[in-house]
Amino acid sequence: MPSQYIPILIVAMVAAIFPLAALAILKRAQADLPPAQTGDPVSEISGPAADEISADRNSVKFYLAGALFVIFAAAIALLVPWSIQFSHMGVYGLLVMLIFLSVLLSGYAWLYKKGALDWM
């Protein structure tokens, strides 16, 4: 085995051992707890009634704005490696990134025009 793969093997072993060790520690810690008291589960439920839950819903636009933020943040994260390697790519790298940014900005303009970013 080449010596280049030894760090990867060590990380893989730690990744396999850590969850098992955590489960063993939690199982031992849980064994010391006293048993839970049983009671009437219906009387212990707290929170709004089932008919009140549907009246207090959030608008879908909030979830849409969150999803759009994640998508655009991931796309903008592609700019970091490009900016690091910009001097090595030359004009071709600049043109490719300008095309990428134009597609990204046209998508943002389309969403703005559709009203997907309006919260009120």
Residues 7-32, mean pLDDT to the nearest whole number: 86
> What number of CA atoms fall less than 13 Å from residue 26's CA on the CB side?
6
Domain residue spans of the chain: 1-34, 57-120
Residue 112's nearest CA partner among 77, 80, 65 is: 65
Return d(Cα 104, Cα 23) in angstroms, integer: 44
pLDDT reported for residue 15: 92
How far is the C-alpha of 114 from the C-alpha of 71, rounded, in Å?
Answer: 17
Place of tokens 């010596």: 3
- Using one digit for the tens of pLDDT, what is the confidence trace for 23-72? 888 888 776 666 666 655 555 556 666 555 555 566 677 777 788 888 88
pLDDT at 71: 84
Give the three-class secondary structure for 61: helix
Distance CA 87, CA 114 (A): 38
pLDDT tens figures, 85-103: 888 888 998 899 899 889 9
Q: Is 38 helix (H, G, I), strand (E, B) or coil?
A: coil
Return the half-sphere exposure (C-beta side, CA atoms, 13 A cut-off) of residue 63.
4
pLDDT of residue 49: 60
pLDDT score, position 31: 65
Instruction: Report how far residue 57's alpha carbon sits from residue 51's, in angstroms, rounded to the nearest whole number.
Output: 12
